[in-house]
């Protein structure tokens, strides 16, 4: 069944609609599937109308990556929010890591847009940016050795944790561990998270 919209686009918010369609295309076939002309076709507008919002392919992909990063951050936030409000910080870090990993498993094509990571915007809201969430959670771990003003050490520890979680996610979705049974992948995730969290205590 053909579900492509062939009617003229009248909503008035074409840029957001293009990003939405771009995310759909990425979820279907990875970043390679995201194209301005296909998005224009699905939105029912001319390619020239699409180019007014995105001057080129890379600017469109950047917007799709941003949306994918927001979705990943929401998955992490949802995973942490399922814990009791008084859960230890280490459990919150592990829950965020699990949310990250499950997003990668369940949205493999979309996650490929984030294979090289994502931007770390200055002043990022912890609810929106995956790295900002990890950074905040790392700072809450008692005994991690961060002085209140030692932002550089906290940042470094956040990068170490991000590297571990992102690395196992890439390995298990598009890397050397992609064909390992899913239960075993989750076991490997637990080992990775436990090792990473232990390494934060110094």
Q: Residue 1: what pLDDT?
A: 40
What is the reported pLDDT for 149? 53
pLDDT tens by residue, 144-175: 556 555 788 888 889 999 999 999 999 999 99
What does the pLDDT read at residue 200? 78
Number of neighbouring beta carbons within 10 Å of residue 187? 12
pLDDT < 70 stretches in the chain:
1-12, 121-127, 142-149, 201-202
Please name the fold of domain 65-200: Tetracycline Repressor; domain 2 (1.10.357)
In the chain, list all ranges with CATH 1.10.357.10: 65-200
**What's the CA gap between 165 and 158, in Å, rounded?**
11
- Nearest CA to 41 out of 55, 58, 24 is that of 24
Close Cβ partners of 17 (under 8 Å, ≥ 6 residues apart): 9, 11, 43
> Could you give the 3-state DSSP secondary structure of residue 98?
helix
User: Which residue is associated with the tokens 């520890």?
Assistant: 157
Q: What is the model's pLDDT at position 140?
A: 85
- pTM greater than 0.95 (yes/no): no
- For 26-43, write each residue's pLDDT tens digit: 999 999 999 988 999 999
Most distant CA pair in the chain, distance: 61
pLDDT in the model for residue 143:
60
Cα torsion 100, 105, 106, 110 to 10°: value is 80
The answer to whether 80 and 99 are in contact (CB under 8 A) is: yes
- The pLDDT score that the predictor gives to residue 5 is 44
| One-character DSSP codes across 50-75 | HHTT-SSHHHHHHHHHHHHHHHHHHH
Quick one: pLDDT at residue 3? Answer: 41
CATH number, domain 14-58: 1.10.10
Q: Where in the chain is the domain with CATH 1.10.10?
A: 14-58
**Residue 121 pLDDT:** 64
């Amino acid at each position: 069944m053909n579900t492509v919209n062939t009617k003229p686009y009248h909503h008035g918010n074409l840029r957001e609609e293009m990003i939405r369609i771009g995310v759909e295309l990425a979820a279907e076939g990875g970043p390679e599937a995201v194209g301005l002309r296909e998005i224009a076709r699905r939105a029912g507008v001319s390619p020239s109308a699409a180019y007014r919002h995105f001057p080129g392919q890379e600017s469109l992909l950047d917007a799709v990556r941003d949306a994918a990063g927001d979705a990943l951050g929401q998955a992490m936030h949802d995973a942490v929010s399922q814990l009791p409000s008084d859960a230890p910080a280490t459990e919150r870090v592990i829950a965020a890591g699990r949310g990250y990993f499950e997003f990668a498993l369940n949205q493999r094509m979309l996650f490929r847009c984030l294979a090289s990571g994502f931007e770390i915007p200055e002043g990022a809201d912890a609810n929106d940016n995956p790295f900002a969430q990890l950074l905040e959670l790392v700072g809450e771990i008692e005994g991690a050795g961060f002085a209140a003003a030692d932002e550089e050490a906290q940042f470094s520890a956040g990068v170490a944790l991000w590297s571990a979680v992102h690395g196992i996610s890439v390995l298990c979705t598009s890397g050397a561990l992609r064909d390992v049974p899913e239960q075993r992948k989750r076991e490997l995730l637990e080992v990775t998270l436990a090792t990473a969290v232990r390494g934060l205590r110094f």
